[in-house]
Amino acid sequence: MRPERLSEKEKMLEAMLFASPESVPLAKLAEALGTDQPATRQLLAHLGEVYARDKSGIQLAEADDHYRLCTNPLYYPCVQRLLQLRPRRPLSQALLETLAVIAFKQPVTKGVIEEIRGINSDHSVNRLVEYGLAEERGRLDAPGRPILFGTSEDFLLHYGLKSVEELLKQGEMPQLPLEIEE
């Protein structure tokens, strides 16, 4: 059987995503490609399927209708050796608990996180923000105007989720070891 080739538009999408240092919204990709969003989503889905089928060194990642190319986790050790990246460290139990509360209760204040966990969570929330897994989502309209926190696009990418709704449908955090580079 002859391998399936990418269409010209899929090659254009691949080039745009490769050139972009950040995730690109579906609407922007569709506009740049000169097609509508459903057609662009279909092209992206096929591109992702080809990468997965061929066990390519790159994969297409989607989070909240934003797309990017990233390293296939199968080949991360090779990339790590080449770039001399420090080994990833697993998140501590406190960080995982805090991340779970943020993920399932978002947007949420530190006060609510502490009420659920029963312990001061300042350090954990600050660490998760520093790691890029959580982010500020505005302020609660209440006395003191506490900061609201939610998960970030990087959180979705680390867990292989396309949206927070996908996580909420599952009802639990995916069983993946989440590690962070420091």
Average confidence (pLDDT) over 25-31: 97
Domain check: are 36 and 59 in the same one? yes
Q: What is the pLDDT of residue 69?
A: 95
Instruction: Collect all residues with Cβ–Cβ distance below 8 Å to 141 and sequence separation of at least 6.
Output: none
Q: What is the pLDDT of residue 90?
A: 82
Bridge partner residues of 62 (DSSP): 67
Instruction: Collect all residues with Cβ–Cβ distance below 8 Å to 55 and sequence separation of at least 6.
Output: 72, 74
Average confidence (pLDDT) over 115-134: 93
In a domain, 2, yes or no: no
Given 54, 76, 98, the domain boundary residue is 76
Q: Looking at the predicted structure, is the pLDDT value of residue 1 above 80?
A: no
pLDDT band at 28, cuts 50/70/90?
very high
For the whole model, what pTM was predicted? 0.69
In a domain, 83, yes or no: no
Domain check: are 72 and 95 in the same one? no
Domain check: are 70 and 93 in the same one? no
Given 76, 102, 135, the domain boundary residue is 76
Domain check: are 112 and 175 in the same one? yes
Least confident of 25-29, 88-92, 112-116: 88-92
Work out how many domains the chain is built from and give that number.
2
Given 76, 106, 123, the domain boundary residue is 76
Q: Which domain holds residue 58?
A: 8-76
Chain-wide mean pLDDT for the chain?
A: 88
In a domain, 120, yes or no: yes
pLDDT band at 182, cuts 50/70/90?
very low
Q: Helix axis angle, 37-53 relative to 8-19, nearest 10°?
A: 80
Domain check: are 120 and 72 in the same one? no
Average confidence (pLDDT) over 135-154: 93
- 103: domain CATH number is 1.10.10.10
Q: How does DSSP classify residue 141?
A: S
Average confidence (pLDDT) over 54-65: 93
* Dihedral (Cα; 110, 129, 173, 119), 10-degree rounding: -30
Domain check: are 63 and 120 in the same one? no
Domain check: are 53 and 121 in the same one? no
